[in-house]
Structure 1
Amino acid sequence: MENLRFSVEVAAPAQHVWNVMLDLDTYREWTGAFHDGSTYEGGWNEGDEIRFVGPNDDGTASGLIGTIVENRPHEFVSIRYIGDVQNDVESHEGPAVGLHENYSFSETGGVTTLVVELEVPDEWADDMRGMWSEAIGSIKRLAERA
């Protein structure tokens, strides 16, 4: 397992950056870095189950299933992965089970520092570095364009 960390300064209030990152419409835009057509099903409240899924070429969906462990609006979200979906089939086993992903938002003088920290299986680390680097840049652009 590897621990990855990404950070970006965004010229926007934390509440706005939070909304850009987590609202479904803008989520679909910035997660194109991972997979065209990515979306989520579920909610961001503590205890909610959430599925991060995207379409496969054959019309099925694949992705990860998580539980929201902690949610402090406009400050922090923690996700613990409990399974995955491969070709529409749900499994609660696999390399992502038990791993965490955290988003932190801290604002000073109208500038928000967004920090994304995640645990990933070693075999995913290189891909995730590239995808998250692109994704966090997209979040910054989306938040600063409004």
Structure 2
Amino acid sequence: MQKIFFEIQIDADPEKVWDVLWSDMTYRQWTTAFMEGSFYMGSFEEGSIIKFLDPNNNGMYSRVEKNIANQEMKFLHLGEIYNGVESEQDWGEATEAYILEEIPTGTLLKIEINTTEEFKDFFEEKFPTALGIVKNLSENQL
């Protein structure tokens, strides 16, 4: 497993950043950095399974490990989805955490990812763009 980290300072309160991250409309905007047309199906309730999909119903499914509103969201990635069919993967402790820390100028958004070697380069290439979109939406959206 590879641990990778990203962070970005956003001039907006944690509640606004949280809303941008997890509201359906804005989620679809910032995740275009990974795949145009990305969306999720399911609930962000702790313990629930959520699917992260592209327009062809391909993607992955994960369990919500932690959801502390406006502070932290953590997923454990369980498997892949191809043509709508789930396929469990042996990814071990493949996790993705979003941590929002209130700072005097707004929010420090930190991403902590525990990933397999095969996905490391993808995350390192795409996440900075995604975080730039989150920052723009958080700072400029009414």
Q: TM-score, normalised by structure 2?
A: 0.94
The SS at the match of 2:54 is strand
Q: Does 1:72 align with 2:72?
A: no
Q: Are 1:137 and 2:132 an aligned pair?
A: yes
What 5-or-longer segments of structure 2 have no aligned partner? none
Deviation of 1:109 after TM superposition, in Å, equals: 2.3
AA matched with 2:135: K
Counterpart in the other structure of 2:83 = 87
Please tell me whether residue 111 in structure 1 is matched to residue 111 in structure 2. no
C-alpha distance in 2 between matches for 1:120 and 1:134: 19
Given that 1:65 and 1:81 are in contact with CA atoms closer than 8 Å, whether structure 2 keeps it comes out as yes
Q: Structure 1 stretches (4+) deviating beyond 2 angstroms? A: none
Partners of 2:66 and 2:129 in 1: how far apart? Answer: 25
Name 1:2's counterpart in structure 2. 2
Give the partner amino acid of 2:96.
E
Single out whichever of 24-33 and 46-55 deviates more from structure 2: 46-55
Q: Measure, in 2, the Cα distance between the counterparts of 1:73 and 1:48.
A: 15
SS at match of 1:46: coil
Matched length: 141
Say if 1:46 and 1:70, in contact at 8 Å, map to a contact too.
yes
1:20 deviates by 0.3
CA contact (8 A) 1:84 1:93 kept: yes
> Equivalents in 2 of 1:65, 1:98: separation in Å?
14
Q: What percentage of aligned pairs have identical amino acids?
A: 30
2:93–2:114 CA contact under 8 A, matched in 1: no
Distance 2:3 2:92 in 1: 15
What's the CA shift for 1:87? 2.4
Please, what TM-score do these two structures have when normalized by structure 1?
0.91
Q: Once the 2 structures are TM-superposed, how far is the Cα of residue 110 of structure 1 from its aligned partner?
A: 4.5
> What code does the residue aligned with 1:21 have?
L
Cα offset, 1:45, TM superposition: 1.3
